[in-house]
Amino acid sequence: GQQVMQIPQYQHVQEGEDFTTYCNSSTTLSNIQWYKQRPGGHPVFLIQLVKSGEVKKQKRLTFQFGEAKKNSSLHITATQTTDVGTYFCKPKLSFGAGTTVTVRA
Amino acid sequence: EAQVTQNPRYLITVTGKKLTVTCSQNMNHEYMSWYRQDPGLGLRQIYYSMNVEVTDKGDVPEGYKVSRKEKRNFPLILESPSPNQTSLYFCASSPLIPRTGGSNQPQHFGDGTRLSIL
């Protein structure tokens, strides 16, 4: 399948801080999706990016698609305990390995 | 309510005993897929189907079979389970946009099936 690398694999964040997780591909992507999986739950679709340089926001979450459409990022501002979970990027058929986020109060 | 239903949710069984995990969706989606999730490896695709009687291998198909006789159902079959198939399995479905070569639509996931093969 189409290979992407997600970094970091784990992110431990102080509540209130910001962080960014990245999804990098060696090939050009037609689009990319992001999913969130809460502990014990199933992946839930967050957003899809299609255009080069596209930026979309969902409250404290900002998603970006790179100009070359080879990478994407998810930035979370003012992290809350509700942000705990694993965030996956997905180009077409395959998922990235995910970034697992934990939050310390 | 739109949903993807997997059964069973949990199963402990022994090596070599054939088992089937069922998956059913009520959204009339063309595309269905099976994934396994293992620590540190994320979600890896086992098999997918773009429509009735159309199935294809994903990244880790060895040891698994699937069928798609009806649009709503996509069972995962382990003919002779082995301990390395102990994992958390998810079924997912989505609409399929023609001529895109795959599913570019958001996927809806079932609640997962945790399999333990002893």
**B5-50 confidence digits (pLDDT tens):** 999 999 999 999 999 999 999 999 999 999 999 988 889 999 999 9
Q: Which residue of A has its CA nearest to B57?
A: A1
- Rounded Cα distance between B9 and B24, Å, is 13
* Predicted local distance difference test score (pLDDT) of residue B97: 75
Please write the tens of the pLDDT for every residue from A42-97.
Answer: 999 999 999 999 999 999 999 999 999 999 999 999 999 999 999 999 987 778 89
- pLDDT at residue B100 in the model: 59
Chain B contact set for A32 (CB, 8 A): none
In B, which residues are within 8 Å of A44 by CB distance? 109
Res B2: pLDDT: 86
Contacts of A8 in chain B (CB under 8 A): none
Among chain A residues, the shortest Cα distance to B104 is held by A92
Tell me which residue in B45, B106, B112 faces A93 most closely, judged by beta carbons.
Answer: B45
CA B12 to chain centre: 18
In the predicted structure, residue A2 carries a pLDDT above the cut 70: no
- The CA radius of gyration of chain A, in Å to the nearest whole number, is 13
Residue type, A44: V
Q: For residue range B69-113, list pLDDT tens digits in order.
A: 999 999 999 999 999 999 999 999 999 876 655 557 899 999 999
CA gap B64, B112 in Å, rounded: 17
- Count the helix, strand and coil residues of chain B and give each as a percent rounded to the nearest 5: 5, 50, 50
Binary contact (A1, B59; C-beta < 8 A)? yes
B59 contacts A45? CB cut-off 8 A: no
In chain A, what residues touch B44 (CB-CB under 8 Å)?
A: 94-95
Q: What is the mean pLDDT of residues B65-69?
A: 98
Cβ neighbours of residue A60 closer than 8 Å, sequence gap 6 or more: A76, A77, A78, A79, A80, A83
What integer pLDDT is reported at residue B49 of this predicted model? 95
What pLDDT does residue A11 have?
Answer: 96
